[in-house]
Homo-oligomer: A and B are copies of this chain.
Amino acid sequence: MKYEMRGFSRRRAIVALFATLLCGFVNRSASAQIDPLPSWNDGTAKKSITDFVARVTTQGDADFVPIEQRIATFDNDGTLWCEQPVYFQLAFAFDRVRAMAPQHPEWKTTQPFKALLDQNMQAFAAFREKGLLQIVAATHTGMTTDEFSNAVLGWTVGARHPRFNRPYTELVYQPMLELLAYLRANGFKTFIVSGGGIEFMRPWVEKIYGIPPEQVVGSSGIVKFQIDASGKPELMKLDKIEFVDDGPGKPVGINRFIGRRPIFAFGNSDGDLQMLQWTAAGPGARFAGIVHHTDALREYAYDRQSKIGKLDKAWAEAEQRNWTIVDMKRDWKTVFPEARPR
């Protein structure tokens, strides 16, 4: 009995030892060989990222940053996912009008709903910003936060992008997914700081980006707490804008929601300029990056003249201050992830 126990122990011990040695071996070769950013082509953009991360995470380096201060913020539209031919939240609003139309027979004869339901986008455009605000109000307010969240989730499953014929949530940038994971593996806390609606993003970003709802900063409408007729508390979305998280609103939103200045920020348009300025102006090592859409074949090509995602002032400042400019065509091996089997 005693002998058997000892034999058993020895066998287990030897297995344990080999497992330990093997783990050590695999880890060492992994860190030496596995590229954390495989969808990035080698070049100055990729190198500026990995160099920065190495510097701020190396104990004893002059640029070392304690883990709790490793805050990274990312714009969403055009930085983490595609924003063409229209912001995806607008595509959601348009689809939602169609989905809600049976409950709103009056829309058949009321503008701007009629134009949208007739798919007459030229007529719809004539209503300009006011028309858009009416559509957003009709599709984003007058319901509880739970109801809205369910509507968004349903849309992410069912809707398809007109050009790529894929769910919108698959039109995220594979290189940026890798960058998010790489930063988190290096102790960074990753945040979204988007002009998009905070309640529109939160239902799906955790699954898609690995960013939890509490790390999402965005534009918002007023929400009201009330007790419904059955005594159940609910949060009702009202038709009143609360906060626009765009341009100078981005550092304000960062201060409000995060309460610390990021050391790393990525955007793609002039709406991100102030976030990048605020990030870059802090003490110590700082990273400011811009995605430049240069790839009409695999995605879209646009910058100074674009209505959506205009990149002009932020581009000039990036060049002047030596921020990292990612040239999508040159720097990204892949744009979108492989389609998921359906």
* A308 contacts partner chain B, Cβ-Cβ < 8 Å: no
Total copies of this chain within the assembly: 2
Given contacts A212-B68, A235-B251, contact A256 B189 (CB under 8 A): no
Inter-chain CA distance A274–B226, complex, in Å, is 9
* A340 contacts partner chain B, Cβ-Cβ < 8 Å: no
Stretch of A174-182, A214-222, A296-304, A325-333 contacting B (4+ beta carbons < 8 Å): A214-222
B274 touches A251 (CB 8 A): no
* A287 contacts partner chain B, Cβ-Cβ < 8 Å: no
Partner of A198, one of B9, B20, B191, B259: B259
* A241 contacts partner chain B, Cβ-Cβ < 8 Å: no
* A223 contacts partner chain B, Cβ-Cβ < 8 Å: yes
Q: How far is the CB of A244 from chain B (nearest CB, A)?
A: 12
Given contacts A17-B9, A214-B215, A278-B233, contact A257 B255 (CB under 8 A): no
Question: Could you tell me the dominant secondary structure of chain A's interface residues?
Answer: helix
* A16 contacts partner chain B, Cβ-Cβ < 8 Å: yes
Inter-chain CA distance A224–B191, complex, in Å, is 21
Contact string against B for A residues 41-61, beta-carbon threshold 8 Å, 1 for contact and 0 otherwise: 000000000000000000000
Given contacts A13-B14, A278-B225, contact A255 B235 (CB under 8 A): yes
* A313 contacts partner chain B, Cβ-Cβ < 8 Å: no
Partner of A235, one of B68, B198, B213, B252: B252
A260 touches B20 (CB 8 A): no
Inter-chain CA distance A9–B16, complex, in Å, is 11
* A145 contacts partner chain B, Cβ-Cβ < 8 Å: yes
Chain A interface residue bracket vs B: 35 or more
Q: Chain B: which residue is nearest A216 at the CB level?
A: B259
Q: Chain B: which residue is nearest A232 at the CB level?
A: B281
Given contacts A215-B214, A277-B233, contact A259 B202 (CB under 8 A): yes
B213 touches A260 (CB 8 A): yes
Q: Write out the residue numbers on chain B whose beta carbons fall within 8 Å of the beta carbon of A9.
A: 14, 17
Q: Chain B: which residue is nearest A258 at the CB level?
A: B214
A9, A17, A259 — most chain B CB neighbours (10 Å): A259
Q: Chain B: which residue is nearest A227 at the CB level?
A: B277
Contact string against B for A residues 78-95, beta-carbon threshold 8 Å, 1 for contact and 0 otherwise: 000000000000000000
Pairs of residues from A and B, 9 with the lowest C-beta to C-beta distance, nearest first: A213-B259, A13-B17, A13-B13, A225-B248, A202-B259, A214-B258, A225-B251, A233-B277, A233-B281
